[in-house]
Amino acid sequence: MSDTDAIARMQAVFSAQKAAFEAERHRPVPERKADLKKLEAMVKARADDFAAAIDADFGRRSKAETAVAEAGFVIATAKHARKHLDRWAASKRKPVPPTMAPGKAYVRREPKGVAGIVSPWNYAMQLALAPLAAALAAGCRAMIKPSEFTPRTAELLQEVLAGLYAEDHVAVIPGGPDLAQAFCAQPFDHLFYTGSTPVGRLVAQAAAANLTPVTLELGGKSPAVIASDFSLDEAAKTIAWGKYFNAGQTCVAPDYALVPRGGQRKFAEAVMREANAMWPDVADNGDYTAIVSEKHHARLSAMVEEARQAGADVLQADFDPEKAGNTRIFPPTVVVDPPLDSALMREEIFGPVLPVLGHDGMEDAARFVNERDRPLALYVYAKSKPIARRFLARTMSGGAAVNVPMLHLSVEDLPFGGVGASGQGAYHGEAGFLTFTHERSVFEAPVWHPSRLVFPPYGRMFEFFKKLQAG
């Protein structure tokens, strides 16, 4: 399909979804639960097909990591939403001030309408279907624009969702950046974008033209900071896991580590040891994921080479790409003290490369973090809870975890999102439901309401009301 045809189809689907929403408006909760149940059942039934598509798109994707981070994640999300939907969707009574009594105040939680979801390649199934589950829970209709870097997964998403829902309810619109741009220009009732910060800015601009509310799930450099009371060997275990899971292509992967100064080399060696133990022989290890494209692979190589040329110490697992027969494998890598103006320390790495730098205490580490863009996640390792909490109080990030990376994302009831350059808005659990929900405030007065006593001409009752209002 040409770009023009794809854009025309996309616009037709948008109009159909708009009309269907206007006709139905408030999708009953039992039907939303059925929508979620269908999604859950489909993901269970087609998990292997998705794993195969993602594996083909990546050139190798760990089956175990796909199972937990894609299908498993989506099933848990949909199930959680189904379980709590009655409470989430119920109107919320609010107290009425004495000057307004008698009368009833409440918030109706209503579906916003038609949602646009733009998803990236790194968890191509999860990041399309978890926002979809939130939109369906809220009673919205949704159009998904999956990433062009994972075309097989996009095709499968289109096929399976077309089998589950009418096109005026849920539709997948595959395509590249041109289509994505046209997609974001539609007057959606909510636009939900996951991807890089530079493209996030364009999405926000496109949404602003329509005053479309937007959720931006972006990236950034998420630091892992180790306090001097925490064992470097212990920290290395979980940081290696977080960094090399999906070969570092995770938005909340620890981007770089700050360790007490003098410990950089010891920590780097510990991380390599742990990486080699978790993913031995990466050339031939089905659990070690490849880089999504040659272009992304070349970018990582260039970043490491730049740091090496500048004199940084590079530790890398042994690996022969020719022997592996897979040129997109990038072995676990640690770079000790790269220059702060190198690409490794300027850009989000999004690959299996961990820069390690020294800090001179937690205040110094907080200063380092605060001088940079607000990260999506922040990890602090400290045996002492007060040290960890003081560090959290001194910094800001979308989310955070103490003594382990990434796991805050799996607690359904924790809102997940960025702040500043790492994004705006949140989802997961009730936060996801609310993202796609309009909270409509209602005040219901009886036929005769005492407020009439203070209508003009203003007299004694008005003076009495003024006093009552001021308390």
Q: According to CB under 6 A, which residues from 159 to 188 bind ligand NAD?
A: 176-177, 180-181, 184
What would the x/- binding string for ligand NAD be over residues 24 to 63, using CB under 6 A?
----------------------------------------
Q: According to CB under 6 A, which residues from 102 to 121 bind ligand NAD?
A: 118-121
195 binds ligand NAD (CB under 6 A): yes
User: Which bin fits 281, alpha (ψ -120 to 50), beta or left (φ > 0)?
Assistant: left
Count of residues touching ligand NAD (by CB under 6 A): 30
CA distance 402 to 171: 39
Q: According to CB under 6 A, which residues from 324 to 343 bind ligand NAD?
A: none
Q: Which of 65, 217, 348, 430 is catalytic?
A: 217
Which of residues 195 and 352 has its CB atom nearest to ligand NAD in the complex? 195
Stretch near ligand NAD under the rule CB under 6 A, chosen from 92-100, 145-153, 355-363, 452-460:
145-153
375 binds ligand NAD (CB under 6 A): no
- Which of 61, 112, 145, 221 contacts ligand NAD by CB under 6 A? 145
CB of 198 to ligand NAD, least distance (A): 8
Q: Strands of 190-194's sheet, edge to edge?
A: 170-172, 141-145, 114-118, 190-194, 214-217, 423-424
- Which of 251, 258, 291, 387 contacts ligand NAD by CB under 6 A? 251
Q: Is residue 125 within 8 Å of residue 73, measured between CB atoms?
A: no
- Which of 24, 49, 110, 148 contacts ligand NAD by CB under 6 A? 148
CA distance 351 to 299: 10
Q: Which of 65, 251, 274, 430 is catalytic?
A: 251
Q: Is residue 194 within 8 Å of residue 217, measured between CB atoms?
A: yes
184 is catalytic: no
Q: Is residue 328 within 8 Å of residue 294, measured between CB atoms?
A: yes
Long-range pairs for 17-24: beta carbons < 8 A, 24 or more residues apart: 17/114, 17/141, 17/142, 17/143, 17/168, 17/169, 17/171, 18/113, 18/114, 19/168, 20/141, 20/166, 20/168, 20/169, 21/111, 21/113, 21/114, 21/140, 21/141, 21/189
Instruction: For residue 102, say if its preceding peptide bond is cis, omega within 30 degrees of 0.
Output: yes
Of 38, 37, 26, whose CA–CA distance to 141 is shortest? 26
- Which of 14, 149, 165, 433 contacts ligand NAD by CB under 6 A? 149
Stretch near ligand NAD under the rule CB under 6 A, chosen from 8-16, 192-200, 367-375, 438-446:
192-200
Stretch near ligand NAD under the rule CB under 6 A, chosen from 64-72, 94-102, 199-207, 259-267:
199-207
Q: Which residue is nearest to ligand NAD (CB)?
A: 219
Q: According to CB under 6 A, which residues from 431 to 470 bind ligand NAD?
A: none
140 is catalytic: no
Distance of CA 29 to the CA centre of its chain: 26
Contacts of 26 (CB under 8 A, 6+ apart): 110, 111, 139
Q: Which residues are catalytic?
A: 217, 251
Note the residues at the interface with ligand NAD (CB under 6 A): 118-122, 127, 145, 147-149, 176-177, 180-181, 184, 194-196, 199, 202-203, 217-219, 251, 348, 350, 376, 418, 423
